[in-house]
């Protein structure tokens, strides 16, 4: 377990993953806490001034014109958080809530929001205690921050709302805080706004999707290469001189290199280099690096946007270094929402081309000698026929999920917030699309390895995969059976999905290839 330190220098994508998924502990540097305290002193001065200041001594949003008397400001903060905790639907995943809270704590520690040190420290304490606020699926429009999700988190700091303990069981919040030795806080001026005005939910989900897609795109190169072996395809279209020199897209060159290395020294590939009447392979084989490579480049663009957003201190109003407290629109989620939508397109298309390779291996008219549906006894057995149905259903779902959310603005707050990003929704559908891609690749893996095994059996052991393919087969066959008569297939597909998601398939191939791109 690592420790992540919040300071003025910001955090990295790896820090977010460590906290969200691996329960890394979080600490706040003394320098950051001193900066937070210094800025808070300035906010206290403004709070006691006769001049109204937005977010400090006024209402919020469409109600910003009302000056709030001093004796009602604590109630104002409570009312803000309670009223904004209006989410509905199923609870989102624990890792999403942890990323959301960590990223908000990062901004609070920046010294640009005006909260007291106790606020950011309490949020960090809740994270470290493994307490997870219950955040509902619906409630954020991705503008003015992820308001409802962040409010559900802030409510727990106040000793209210819903939360689960380290064991995942939802229990009364005061009980969870008491067990962890955490004192609930009473919010002061400006602190309610500071806790809810950020793109933290959509950013956290973006960073986790990028991490997942990087693994899956490398795995897609591996499964595509195995499909080339299964379909007696050629490796010559993956030669480096056909990529960076002719079409300088770095992602394409990286994917082609991966596939060439996975196919290196493959007796199956070598067996038909002479005397094969086919001129070229189908697009789903030949153009695999172009599709997966474009996906890689899109992920790199998304990472650039995410890295910029990680460096941001988003709040409204924000405290500038010269002491000004300035209203702004930095909470608008458009930059993050766009790339979330881009990645949903990427996931759908990579899944789509993988499904086409699977279908080709199951069709005796196109599989170059393989039995129908890779069945043990076609007609009696159905083989992988319905596995491809499942794959097709996943791809169809991903195509629907690729419809952008970021173009669908719905005005809110009495037309004060008349254009919103829908970034939270873009992030939610991307998570499902990434899961779909992982499952599609798992089915291609099962199909391609069965096709390779059948080639080996049909040739009396002469047609075997290359070292990388053999290494993948060894790992897969430890828990997933090869060709044979029909059997309960769902558990095998689920196991293949687990191996893909854990990185075990990539690791197996890399035993032969070295580190893949």
Distances from the Cα of 107 to the Cαs of 80, 149, 204, 207, in angstroms?
19, 16, 13, 16
Q: What's the CA gap between 334 and 218, in Å, rounded?
A: 29
In sequence order, what are the residues at sequence separation of 6 or more whose Cβ sits closer than 8 angstroms to the Cβ of residue 118? 185
> What are residue 319's DSSP bridge partners?
325
Distances from the Cα of 176 to the Cαs of 20, 102, 130, 284, in angstroms?
19, 19, 10, 53
Q: Residue for token digits 């962890």?
A: 180
Contact between residue 80 and residue 60 where contact means Cβ atoms under 8 Å apart? yes
Return the structure tokens found at 337. Answer: 């929402």
Short-list 381, 362, 386, 378, CA closest to 486: 381
> What are residue 32's DSSP bridge partners?
none
Rg of the chain over CA atoms, in angstroms?
27
Whether residue 389 lies in the annotated active site = no
Region of residue 422 (left: phi > 0; alpha: psi -120 to 50; beta: else): left
> What burial letters (b/e) apply to 434-444, b meaning 16+ CB within 10 Å?
bbbbbbbbbbb
Contact between residue 294 and residue 255 where contact means Cβ atoms under 8 Å apart? no
DSSP annotation of 370 reads P
End-to-end Cα separation, the chain, in angstroms: 27
Contact between residue 24 and residue 18 where contact means Cβ atoms under 8 Å apart? yes
5 three-class SS: strand
Q: What's the CA gap between 235 and 135, in Å, rounded?
A: 49
Short-list 370, 359, 386, 378, CA closest to 485: 378
Measure the CA dihedral 150/18/429/355, to 10°: 180
Q: What's the CA gap between 473 and 449, in Å, rounded?
A: 7
Short-list 123, 109, 124, 151, CA closest to 9: 109
Q: Is 25 exposed, middle or buried (0-12, 13-18, 19+ CB in 10 A)?
A: middle
How are beta strands 3-6 and 132-133 bridged, if at all?
unpaired
DSSP annotation of 342 reads H
Q: Read off φ and ψ for residue 229, nearest 5 degrees.
A: -65, -45
Q: What's the CA gap between 34 and 32, in Å, rounded?
A: 5
Which sequence positions are flagged as catalytic? Answer: 54
């Amino acid at each position: 377990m690592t420790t992540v330190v919040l300071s003025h220098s910001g955090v990295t994508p790896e820090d977010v993953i460590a906290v969200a998924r691996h329960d890394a502990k979080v600490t706040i540097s003394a320098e950051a806490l001193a900066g937070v305290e210094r800025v808070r002193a300035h906010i206290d001065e403004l709070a006691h001034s006769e001049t109204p200041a937005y977010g400090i001594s006024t209402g919020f949003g469409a109600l910003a014109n009302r000056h709030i008397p001093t004796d009602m400001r604590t109630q104002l903060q409570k009312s803000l958080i309670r009223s904004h905790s209006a989410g509905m639907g199923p609870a989102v995943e624990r890792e999403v809530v942890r990323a959301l809270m960590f990223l908000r704590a990062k901004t609070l520690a920046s010294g640009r929001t005006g909260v007291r040190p106790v606020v950011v420290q309490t949020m960090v304490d809740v994270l470290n205690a493994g307490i997870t606020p219950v955040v509902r699926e619906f409630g954020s429009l991705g503008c003015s921050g992820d308001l409802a999700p962040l409010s559900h988190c802030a409510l727990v700091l106040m000793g209210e709302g819903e939360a689960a303990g380290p064991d995942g069981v939802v229990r009364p919040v005061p009980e969870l805080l008491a067990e962890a030795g955490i004192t609930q806080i009473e919010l002061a001026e400006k602190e309610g706004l500071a806790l809810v005005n950020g793109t933290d939910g959509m950013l956290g989900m973006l960073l986790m999707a990028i991490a997942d897609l990087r693994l899956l795109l490398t795995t897609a190169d591996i499964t595509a290469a195995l499909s080339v072996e299964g379909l007696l395809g050629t490796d010559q279209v993956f030669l480096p001189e056909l990529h960076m020199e002719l079409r300088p897209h770095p992602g394409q060159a990286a994917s082609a290199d991966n596939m060439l290395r996975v196919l290196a020294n493959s007796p199956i590939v070598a067996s038909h280099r002479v005397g094969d009447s086919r001129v070229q392979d189908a697009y789903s084989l030949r153009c695999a690096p172009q599709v997966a490579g474009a996906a890689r480049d899109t992920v790199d663009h998304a990472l650039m946007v995410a890295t910029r957003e990680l460096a941001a201190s988003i709040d409204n109003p924000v405290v500038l270094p010269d002491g000004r407290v300035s209203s702004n629109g930095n909470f608008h989620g458009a930059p993050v929402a766009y790339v979330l939508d881009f990645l949903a397109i990427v996931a759908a298309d990579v899944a789509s081309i993988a499904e086409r390779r699977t279908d080709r291996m199951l069709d005796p008219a196109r599989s170059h000698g393989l039995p129908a549906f890779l069945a043990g006894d076609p007609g009696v057995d159905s083989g992988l026929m319905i596995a491809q149905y499942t794959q097709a259903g996943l791809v169809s779902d991903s195509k629907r999920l690729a419809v952008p959310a970021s173009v669908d603005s719905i005005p809110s707050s009495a037309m004060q917030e008349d254009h919103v990003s829908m970034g939270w929704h873009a992030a939610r559908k991307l998570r499902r699309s990434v899961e779909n891609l992982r499952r599609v690749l798992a089915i291609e893996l099962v199909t391609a390895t069965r096709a390779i095994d059948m080639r080996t059996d049909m040739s009396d052991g002469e047609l075997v995969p290359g070292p990388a393919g053999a290494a993948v087969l060894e790992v897969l066959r430890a828990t997933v059976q090869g060709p044979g008569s029909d059997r309960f297939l769902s558990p095998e597909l689920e196991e293949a999905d687990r191996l893909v998601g854990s990185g075990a398939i990539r690791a197996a191939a890399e035993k032969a290839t070295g580190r893949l791109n």
